[in-house]
Amino acid sequence: MLDLTKNLGRNFGVWGLVAAGVAAGVLAAPPLRRGARRLAVLATQGILTISDEARKLATEARSGWQGLVDEARTAAAAGAQVPSVEE
């Protein structure tokens, strides 16, 4: 039995064993399961909110970049010179 524990510790690490123990406890106790489910739902809700915000920011950045590219293409097509930057 001790040899099995050593192999589990080596393969999954300390945190893997802790996670397995927590999972076993949650499966064994219905009130813990309900609490864990609520926690999982809240965590998922937070992840979805962050994901939606990141998607919005990426869309805004892409839109701003596309406007800059369009303006540069229009200027190039009109034969405009690129202004120099004076130090």
Question: Using CA atoms, how far apart are residues 32 and 2, in angstroms rounded to an integer?
Answer: 29
Q: What is the pLDDT of residue 54?
A: 92
Average pLDDT per consecutive 10 residues, the chain (87 residues; last block may be shorter): 54 69 74 78 92 92 88 84 63
CB 18 within 8 A of CB 25: no
Q: What is the pLDDT of residue 14?
A: 67
Q: What is the pLDDT of residue 10?
A: 60
Instruction: Kindly tell me the sign of the dihedral angle through the C-alpha atoms of 72, 76, 82, 83.
Output: negative
Q: What is the pLDDT of residue 81?
A: 72
Question: Using CA atoms, how far apart are residues 76 and 68, in angstroms rounded to an integer?
Answer: 12
Question: Using CA atoms, how far apart are residues 24 and 72, in angstroms rounded to an integer?
Answer: 60
Instruction: For the chain, give the number of residues.
Output: 87
Q: What is the pLDDT of residue 1?
A: 45
